[in-house]
Copies of this chain bind each other. A is one copy, B any other.
Amino acid sequence: MSGSAQLSDGDAAILRMFEAGSPRGLARAISRAEGGEGAALMGRVFERAGRAMTVGVTGPPGVGKSTLSSALVTMARRRGQSVGVVSVDPSSPFSRGAILGDRIRLSDHFTDPEVFIRSMASRGHLGGLAGATGDAVAFMDAFGKDVIVVETVGVGQSEIEIAELTDTTLVVLQPGSGDAVQLLKAGILEVADIFVVNKADHPMALQLRREIRNMLEMLTFTGWRPELIVTEARAGTGVEALWAGIERHAEFLRTSGELEFRRRAAFAHRVRALVLGELEPRIESQIAHLVREDAAALGDPYVAAATLLARLEQGVPREAAPPSPARKPAAVVKGL
């Protein structure tokens, strides 16, 4: 087991800081995970994780997720709880600017030593969002944070992924952004534990609430019934009610046995991300070799895929083969 393996001197120093409760130790552990080098440290602290209440906050750009996250941090701090925040940038080239702007709203808490805030980009990490973000949550949890908020913009798969990492998922929607039913049909129902209609003062807020209510009424739930909570996070309105909703959901998870189920699913999700992150370069390397073969023998993509699968069924190679001679980069920054 990696837990009993020898740590490098660097990791041993990080572990000492981490165990002494130093935020720098936590920050460095997360950085090790971001660099794909977090396994040894995780082996030493993982068994301390599992105590924190974890809340995911997702939704389209501009709905006020960061303001809401910031308000949740304030609520937790009033209760004397320590907080970790992971702010994930899913690296859509078209949303980056907006997200950076958003983050500023968390700055109210920058001087509070009991609040640890970490921004992460998901692109390029081993295991994507689930990899380094999952590690960050586990490290914060093991460090002793009572509440962990994971905030990500809902583009592509990220709103599904965040739900796999956290106990309670808030889906934040904005009045006037289109047909809610249309949006919600597309896989959101499965991930939302609580719908938050933020910007309660918006003229379309009432209509969005009605649409979500109508949609929820068409469904029968066997376990938790998603709640709908209206907030005006900038003014602090509705945040108490939202916190109460999150606590109700946490209580439901504990008493129904669903918590154990979700945590196992989250564990499986992280294992999957790590395994695929390891396998993909090895398969990539196999494909690169395959497409250099005689084109006629290669056939169409289905035939080539079947050939490769048959090879993998004999065993996945232990390492990626050395890369083929690289093509010159198409663009280089002058002077670098």
Chain A contacts with B in 284-305, Cβ cutoff 8 A: 284, 287-288, 290-291, 298-305
A188 part of interface (Cβ distance < 8 Å): yes
Query: Known contacts being A283-B276, A330-B221, A334-B219, is A43 close to B299, with CB within 8 Å?
Result: yes
Residues of B within 8 A of A280 (CB): 276
A112 part of interface (Cβ distance < 8 Å): no
A222 part of interface (Cβ distance < 8 Å): yes
Q: Tell whether, in the assembled complex, residue B305 and residue A287 are in contact, meaning their CB atoms are under 8 Å apart.
A: no
Interface residues of A toward B: which range?
A: 35 or more
Q: Pick from B189, B190, B274: contact of A302, CB below 8 A.
A: B274
A266, B52: Cα distance in complex, Å = 45
Query: Known contacts being A96-B186, A219-B333, is A268 close to B283, with CB within 8 Å?
Result: no
Q: Tell whether, in the assembled complex, residue B328 and residue A318 are in contact, meaning their CB atoms are under 8 Å apart.
A: no
A313, B284: Cα distance in complex, Å = 16
Listed by A's residue number, 27 A-B pairs whose Cβ atoms lie within 8 Å are: A2-B300, A3-B299, A3-B300, A38-B302, A42-B302, A90-B156, A91-B186, A91-B187, A92-B154, A92-B186, A93-B154, A93-B183, A94-B177, A97-B179, A123-B187, A156-B156, A189-B331, A218-B333, A222-B332, A223-B330, A264-B291, A267-B298, A268-B287, A268-B291, A309-B316, A314-B315, A315-B315
Residues of B within 8 A of A325 (CB): none
A76, B224: Cα distance in complex, Å = 54
Closest 6 CB pairs of A and B: A156-B156, A46-B300, A93-B186, A274-B305, A39-B302, A270-B301
A157, B93: Cα distance in complex, Å = 9
Q: Tell whether, in the assembled complex, residue B2 and residue A302 are in contact, meaning their CB atoms are under 8 Å apart.
A: yes
Q: Tell whether, in the assembled complex, residue A190 and residue B330 are in contact, meaning their CB atoms are under 8 Å apart.
A: yes
A220 part of interface (Cβ distance < 8 Å): yes
- Interface 1/0 per residue, A308-335 and B, CB below 8 Å: 1100111111100000000111111110
- Interface 1/0 per residue, A87-106 and B, CB below 8 Å: 00011111111101000000
Query: Known contacts being A97-B182, A287-B271, is A156 close to B157, with CB within 8 Å?
Result: yes
Residues of B within 8 A of A92 (CB): 154-156, 186
Q: Tell whether, in the assembled complex, residue A278 and residue B331 are in contact, meaning their CB atoms are under 8 Å apart.
A: no
Smallest CB–CB gap between A207 and chain B, Å?
14
A272 part of interface (Cβ distance < 8 Å): yes
A158, B92: Cα distance in complex, Å = 9
A205 part of interface (Cβ distance < 8 Å): no
A159 part of interface (Cβ distance < 8 Å): yes
Residues of B within 8 A of A261 (CB): 327
A220, B331: Cα distance in complex, Å = 6
A112, B90: Cα distance in complex, Å = 40
Q: Pick from B218, B222, B271: contact of A291, CB below 8 A.
A: B271
A279 part of interface (Cβ distance < 8 Å): yes
Q: Tell whether, in the assembled complex, residue B93 and residue A184 are in contact, meaning their CB atoms are under 8 Å apart.
A: yes
Q: Tell whether, in the assembled complex, residue B90 and residue A43 are in contact, meaning their CB atoms are under 8 Å apart.
A: no
Query: Known contacts being A223-B330, A264-B291, A330-B190, is A97 close to B178, with CB within 8 Å?
Result: yes
